[in-house]
Structure 1
Amino acid sequence: MKSNIHKIIFILFFFSIILNFAQVKISGKVTFKNKGIAEVNVTLKDTYDGATTDASGNFSFETSEKGAQKLTFTHVKYYEIEKPITIDDQNQTINAELKEQINEIDAVVVSAGSIEASDKKRATALLTPIDIYTTAGADGQISSALNYLPGVQKVGEAEGLFVRGGTGTESKIFMDGSLINNYFSSSVPGIAGRDRFNTSLFKGNIFSSGGYSALYGQALSGALMLESVDLPDQSSYDFGVSPIFLNAGFQKLSDNKNYSYGATAGYSNLNLMQKIFNFNTDFIDAPQGFNGDMNFRLKTKSGGFLKYYGMFDTNTMGVKTESLEPNYDFSLVKLKGKNTYHNLSFKQKFGKYLLNVGTSYSYNQSDLKFSTETNNAESGESQVLNDGNYINFKAVVDRKINKISALRGGFELNNANEKLNFGEINKNYRDLISSAFMETDLGFSNHLSAKIGVRAENSSYLNKTNIAPRFALAYRLAKDWTTSFAYGLFFQNAESKYINSSAKLDFQESQHFIFQVQRSTEGRSLRFEAFYKKYDELIKTQNIIPNADQNQQVQTAFNNNGNGFAKGLELFWRDKKTFENIDYWISYSFLDSKRDFLNYPFSLKPNFASEHTLSVVAKRFIPKWKTGVNLSYTYAKGRPYYDIITKEVNGEMVNYPRNQGRLKDYNALNLSFNYLPNLGKKDAKAFTIFVLSVSNVLGTKNIYGYNFSQNGNSSAIVPPVNTFVFVGMFISFGVDKTQDAINNNL
């Protein structure tokens, strides 16, 4: 028995020696640009023999295969290669050099100057509609929510996006590629107009605080590109009710889910809230307005998409203030405004080409009446009546060259026809701006890409043409770290309200230099950006009085001798991962800016630019309580203010500051709560959310600026109310939005 066991052991040992002698060791190193690549699968084709490279790119395995074979090297980020190999009795060393496989997922994206909120892969700050609605202090407005991002100044007395030392009119807003003229509602001096557009209309946005694409023009500072929603997931009905507004709407999706249509209507009135709260502003006619909109969306059989959106709104208000002029007790201003906007866009692929065509039309009328009052008797009435018709048309053709490179080009027409009547000033301003542009995205590798573009514009009013080159470069420093640089030249016509004479003017221009470093991981993002802007050809104005018995002055442009600069540093940090159910972000901006423009007598810090701005936003959703708690805080260093008048010196009209100073620092803490009573109910036919929002909880008495009279009297420009409380209820039938709240899209 023992003899048989010994024989078996001997036979097995003998065969193992034979097999060991028969196996050959194959080893080597896999590299890319002389650096080892880990996790590369190295195998003999059609066998189970192989290995995976280590952190240095080395591999080693043994095989008993003989003769002609093929050695394959595979990795998801590199092109697969095969190497022929002849296996005999000798160990072999096989090295391989791989080529990077360029793809859209891994490619670095140029992002200097931009915060994109429609493509999560590229987003620095994802601002979804629910995100905006639940940002405390934003009042559900896109423009207000952007005030909590770096680069945007908090300027409460005027509407617009004040970006990096630029005025509110130097940033333009686009919908599906088409320019929106009069995005904000009409208002009276010292009170900012509100967004006219419903936030839920848009599925995403790209906010560029500089260095933006050649597809967009006529903006010296920034651009906000809004993208409207496509077909809804299902039909729905929505209602909203609060002490200040009432609205209702519906969206109907076809049975075959290839088209939809819908409409909304609303009414707002601030009269009740004025009786409850202690308003700073004496509204003799409380702000009120009607609005409505309609939409139609169609997906064609060939994959194209047609969208139509139309809206109208009217708003009225009257404000009474203490008169700064002698012999009068009060000043009165009354507003009647109305607006309509229509947008039609079409997108279709034709082979390798993508066509985007869009057109929009808007009409805006603002009727302002100024008067003074003594012993309840009105006198000295004047009227500013402005009618504007605007048509925009844009066509873009896009062709992909490879997975991450593309070429696009097109043209744009923007026609403005404005009529203004104010005292002795009666003008009809007409201008057709014709533009052509071309741009290319160049992907050199997954680590390096560039965007090069050029835009040319011609203004019929100025009878001049400009050419604006744009350039941007992005490079991946490490796995999660990227850096970008952008340069661009930007032109813009002077605001038509300053064109009240036959002065020969030119385009205003600015140059942007932007450097960015960004780190993005799942749930966290960090962005540092430095910028420098140089302004040239800014318009200079003089104050004129339309009628001798009127106190209102207007500024009239007379040349383009203005200039200026803006430079600064910005930091943005957002974290949705560290703390459970908490999303927060912190943004800080430092701005150093000076301008010699409008009626400034020399180079001054603009009265809309704050040197230091800090914003903190935090959001927490508590599933157990079915409640979301949101807070925001903003601090801004006090802005400068000036009382600039025109005086005749040696037969020449000159401007000089009669009074100047600095406002106190701005502080505001805001708080909001969202309660979802039907959270957790399965198959709920209706979704309800209650909202309670408190703006400026601490009641800080902020000052936006000062009004000055001809004789030097002044009064502070303050918010209409120091602390405002909003309570509302929103109901949706047919669409369950519970998951949006649970997923912390707040």
Structure 2
Amino acid sequence: MKTIYSKNLCFFTLFVCVLHFSQNVKITGRVSYKNKGISAVDVTLKDTYDGATTNKEGFFTFETSEKGNHTLIFSHTKYIGSEKNITISDQDLNINIDLKEQVNEIDAVVITAGSIEASDKNRSAIISPLDVYTTAGSDAQISSYLTYLPGVQKVGETEGLFIRGGTGTEAKIFMDGSLVNNYFSNSVPGIAGRDRLNTSLFKGNVFSSGGYSALYGQALSGALMLESVDFPDQSSYDFGVSPIFLNVALQRVNDDKTFSFGASAGYSNLKLMQEVFNFNTDFNEAPSGFNGDFNFRIKTKSGGVLKYYGMFNTDAMGVKTPGLDPDSQYSLVKLRGKNTFHNLSFRQKLGRYLLNVGSSYSFNRSDLNFSTQTDEVQSVPTRLLNDGNYLNFKTVLERKMNRISAVRGGFELNYANEELSIEDVNKGYRDLISSAFVETDLGFSNRFSAKIGARAEYSSYLKESNFAPRFALAYRLAKDWTTSFAYGIFYQNPESRYINSAAQLDFQQSQHYIFQVQKTAEGRSLRLEAFYKKYNDLIKVQNIANIPGQYQPVQTAVNNNGDGYAKGAELFWRDKKTIKNIDYWVSYSYLDSERDFMNYPMPLKPGFASQHTLSVVAKRFFPEMKFQTNLSFNYAKGRPYYDIISDNGENIIRNEGSLKDFSSLNLSFNYLPNIGKKDAKAFTVLVLSVSNVLGRKNIYGYNFSSDGNFRSAIVPPVNTFVFVGMFISFGVDKTEDAINNNL
């Protein structure tokens, strides 16, 4: 018996030794990408439970009792999986392997030089409707909101986006890819027009302060691309009321969200506020206007989306200012304006292709009457009437090559027909700009990508053509750090209002060089950007006439001999994480610009360009109090001003200087009474907004008398403005948007 036990014990010991010996086969190795170890790679022996995970240097080790031919599997979410056939015997194995990067849309670096984006894919809340509405001093206008971002100058005396040393007309605005002509309302000299399109129409917006896509043209400085909402969440009825306007709207959508339509109407009048506040501007007829719009959206059975938006509005105002010349006690200007805009777009996927077709039409009438008044005797008005019809058509076909690469191309037609009359002088302007473009996105890896494109245009009026190459590169320096570079050539027709002679003109041109470094982490972003712009073939003009009561002379283009440059650096920092319930950002821009254009007799710093601008915005939510407050501050170093006249056919500077520095502190308070009520049937917002709280007397420029001995300041219509309003939406509780989109 003892012998049997001894034999069994020896056999068991031998079995354990053999088993132990078979388990001692060790498999080690290193997983790398471009000679750098990759951590968190799963290494497994196929059809077994044996395996390991690589450490931060990319090394792995595990033991197995398997023998023979097997397959070793390497897997990681950011790299293409790989398999390696191995033979396991009695010897330890060392396996090294290089993986290829898994290229995908989520991890791929995005080119951001010159642009700030907000869309469904990039929820940074920059230029989102709610961000615009809840920024004090923006007046619910996208254009005003952009002055709190890098690169945009605060120019209060006229409308437009003044970007990096460019004029307000050198930036263009697009809706669903189509050009929006006359985006701003009609106005009188010295008072800026307002945005015509409702901010809430748009779900995603891309603002480019330079180096923008080849899909867009006719802009020397930048572009704002607005993307309208596809379908509303549900049917709703909206009502807004304040001392200066009344607005009602409805939006209906079917249960399947395949069809929706909506309409709105509003009326505004500044008369009541003029009675309450001490206005700088003497409105002998308070600014007023009527607006209405209609929209519909249709989703086709094949997944396409057809969208239409149409609007109509009127403008009216009268301004009375003290005269500067002895023969006029007062200068009077009266405005009557009309505008209509229609936009139709269609988007359809065709396999790996995406088709976008869009068109827009607009009509604008600006009817200005200028006169003077002395001892209650008014001169015969001088009428300046401008009618414009504009048509845009654009087709873009895009094909995906892989997850982050694509190629797109198309063509665009822009037609303009304008009639300008001053007294008995009539001028017609007609032009058809035909354009073709192609562009490709190239994703070489998650770290490196490029965008290469070109655009060609032909103007029937100028009888000239151009070719504009553009490209951009982006590289990820580290996990949260990226760098981008963009270069492009851009062309733009001369403004039609200066074409009053038979001068042979050509396209104006600019070249952009932009370098950016950006860090983006959860809740925080930092952008540092440097740029250089070179201007060529800018328009030079001569003064040809003066209109009574208007201190801006009528001018005519004479040649394309103008040029200039703009260079600078910008910083943007936004933080939504450090302090609970507080979202703030800081924007700073430095600009060095000089131009020899228009009626400038020599290269000068433009009168619309400030060397230093600073903006600070802070928003604070109090969820338990159903309350939000926000603050904004604008500062701009004083801009130069010039009094330039024509003397014997030569332009000379009669007076010049620098304005005092501009600053404005603004406050806004929003009360959201339905926070926390998930079953609320009505969402209400009460708004109190105070612009220029400290009442600083800012100056935008000067008008000069005909002899240059007297001047009057161009100032805001009112130093401090208070807005009180109530907005009610029946059917949609937007509380979650108010919180989630801002915090």
Which structure 2 residues correspond to residues 488-507 of structure 1 after superposition, within 5 A? Answer: 488-507=488-507
In the aligned structure 1, how far is the partner of 2:651 from the partner of 2:16?
A: 102
CA distance in 2, matches of 1:230, 1:680: 27
Partner residue, 1:293: 293
Q: Which residue of 1 aligns with 2:166?
A: 166
Taking the TM superposition and a 5 Å limit, the aligned residue runs for 1:311-460 are 311-460=311-460
| Shift of residue 423, structure 1, vs aligned partner | 3.3
* Displacement of 1:553: 2.1
Residue 223 of structure 1 corresponds to 223
Partner deviation per Cα, 1:402-427 (whole Å, 9 max, x = no partner) = 11111110000000000001135310
Secondary structure of 1:197 counterpart? coil
Give CA-to-partner distance per residue, 1:318-359, whole Å, 9 cap, x none: 000000121211000010011000000001112221110000
> For 1:162, what is the secondary structure of its paired residue?
coil
Alpha carbons 1:424, 1:547 under 8 Å: kept: no
Aligned residue number for residue 49 of structure 2: 48
The CA distance in 1 between the partners of 2:404 and 2:549, in whole Å, is: 64
Deviates more, 1:416-425 or 1:230-239: 416-425
Q: 1:31: which partner in 2?
A: 32
1:480-559 alignment runs, 5 A limit: 480-545=480-545, 553-559=553-559
TM-score by length of 1: 0.97
Aligned residue type for 1:25: K
Q: Is the 8 A contact 2:314 2:338 kept in 1?
A: yes
2:63 aligned partner: 62
Q: Secondary structure at the match of 1:273?
A: helix
1:702 aligns with 2:698: yes
8 Å contact from structure 1 (residues 394, 413) kept in 2: yes
| Aligned partner (choices 677, 685, 689) of residue 689 of structure 1 | 685
Once the two structures are superposed, residues 150-195 of structure 1 have per-residue CA deviations (whole angstroms, 9 ceiling, x without a partner) of 0000000010000000000000000000000000000000000000
Contact 1:540 1:562 in 2 (8 A): yes
Residues 1:19 and 2:7 are matched in the alignment: no
Q: Assess if the C-alpha contact under 8 Å between 1:425 and 1:500 holds in 2.
A: no
Conserved in 2, the CA contact under 8 Å of 1:413 and 1:433?
A: yes
**Aligned ranges 1:252-291 → 2 under 5 Å:** 252-291=252-291
> SS of the residue aligned with 2:379?
strand
Partner of 1:737: 734
Give the stretch that moved more between structures: 481-490 or 250-259.
250-259
Structure 2 CA distance for partners of 1:584 and 1:13, relative to 1, 3 Å: farther
Following superposition, the deviation at residue 127 of structure 1 comes to 2.3
1:251 matched to which residue of 2?
251
Rounded to whole Å, the distance in 2 between the matches of 1:413 and 1:429 is 16
Q: Deviations over 1:556-601 (max 9, x none)?
A: 1000000000000000001111111111110000000000000000
Q: 1:424 and 1:61, CA in 2 relative to 1: closer, same or farther beyond 3 A?
A: same
- Find the counterpart in structure 2 of residue 666 from structure 1: 662
Report the secondary structure of 2:344's partner residue.
strand
Runs of at least 5 residues in structure 1 that lack an aligned partner in the other structure: none
Identity percentage over the alignment? 72
- What letter matches 2:698 in structure 1? N
Distance 1:15 1:183, change over 3 A: same
Distance 1:163 1:639 in 2: 15
Shift of 1:16: 4.4
CA drift at 1:548: 9.8
Q: Is the 8 A contact 1:468 1:491 kept in 2?
A: yes
Q: Deviation string for 1:56-88 (max 9, x for gaps)?
A: 110000001111110000011111111111111
Q: Which amino acid aligns with 2:154?
A: K
CA contact (8 A) 1:120 1:126 kept: no
Q: Is the 8 A contact 1:411 1:434 kept in 2?
A: yes
Offset, 1:254: 1.3
In structure 2, the partner of 1:717 is 714
Task: After TM superposition, give the deviation of residue 682 of structure 1 in Å.
Answer: 3.2
| Alpha-carbon contact 2:125-2:131 (below 8 Å) kept | no
Quickly say closer, same or farther: Cα 1:198–1:7, change in 2 above 3 A: farther
Give deviations 1:396-447, integer Å, cap 9, x for gaps. 0001111111111000000000000113531010000000001111111111
Distance 1:129 1:213 in 2: 23
Deviations 1:128-168 (A, max 9, x none): 11110010000100001111000000000010000000000
Contact 1:185 1:194 in 2 (8 A): yes
In structure 2, give the amino acid aligned to 1:429: Y
Q: For each residue in 1:515-554, what CA deviation from the matched residue of structure 2 results, as whole angstroms up to 9, or x when unmatched?
A: 0001111111100000000000000001011679997621
1:116 aligned to 2:113?
A: no
- Match of 1:454, as an amino acid? A
Q: Distance in 2 between matches of 1:114 and 1:576?
A: 20
TM-score when normalising by structure 2: 0.97
- The letter for the 2-side match of 1:439 is E
Which SS does the other structure have where 1:501 is aligned? coil
The 8 Å contact of residues 26 and 92 in structure 1, kept in 2 or not, is answered as: yes
| 1:582 and 1:744 in contact (8 A); partners too | no
2:331 touches 2:549 (CA, 8 Å); kept in 1?
no
In structure 2, give the amino acid aligned to 1:58.
F
Letter aligned with residue 111 of structure 1 = T
Matched, 1:634 2:634: yes
1:84 is matched by which residue type in structure 2? Answer: N
Query: Equivalents in 1 of 2:9, 2:458: separation in Å?
Result: 95
Query: For residues 260-280 of structure 1, what are the alpha-carbon distances to aligned partners after superposition, in whole Å with 9 as ceiling and x for unaligned?
Result: 000000000000000000000
SS at match of 1:272: helix
CA distance in 1, matches of 2:543, 2:239: 48
Q: Contact (CA 8 Å) 1:380, 1:549: kept in 2 or not?
A: no
Indicate whether 1:75 and 2:82 are aligned.
Answer: no
* Matched residue SS, 1:618: strand
Aligned twin of 1:471: 471
SS at the partner of 1:163?
Answer: coil
Q: State the distance in 1 between where 2:740 and 2:350 align.
A: 38
Pairwise mapping of residues 541-690 of structure 1 onto structure 2 (< 5 A)? Answer: 541-545=541-545, 553-648=553-648, 653-690=649-686
Residues in 1 aligned to 2:161 and 2:13: alpha-carbon distance in whole angstroms = 83
Separation (CA, whole Å) in 2 of partners of 1:517 and 1:5: 78
What is the CA-CA distance between 1:256 and the residue it aligns to? 2.5
Cα offsets for 1:701-724 (capped at 9, x unmatched): 100001112111210000000000
Q: Which amino acid aligns with 1:689?
A: V
How far apart are residue 381 of structure 1 and its match? 1.8
Query: In 1, Cα distance between the equivalents of 2:370 and 2:332?
Result: 6
Runs of 4+ aligned structure 1 residues displaced above 4 Å come to 3-16, 546-552
> Residue deviations 1:260-302, cap 9 Å, x none?
0000000000000000000000000000000000000001000
CA distance in 2 between counterparts of 1:5 and 1:741 reads: 81
Change in CA separation of 1:549 and 1:455 when aligned onto 2, cut-off 3 Å = closer
Structure 2 gaps of 5+ residues are none
User: Counterpart of 1:388 in structure 2: which amino acid?
Assistant: G
Distance 2:659 2:7 in 1: 102
Q: Whole-Å Cα distance in 1 between the matches of residues 98 and 549 of structure 2?
A: 84
Cα deviation digits, residues 599-627 of structure 1 (max 9, x gap): 00000000000000000000011012110
Task: Give the Cα–Cα distance (whole angstroms) in 1 for the partners of residues 579 and 425 of structure 2.
Answer: 60
Q: Deviations over 1:605-664 (max 9, x none)?
A: 00000000000000011012110010000110000000000001xxxx110110000000
Q: Which residue of 2 aligns with 1:93?
A: 94
Tell me, in whole angstroms, the C-alpha distance in 1 between the residues paired with 2:527 and 2:533. 19
Q: Aligned with 2:381: secondary structure?
A: strand
Residues of 2 paired with 1:364 and 1:466: CA distance?
A: 28
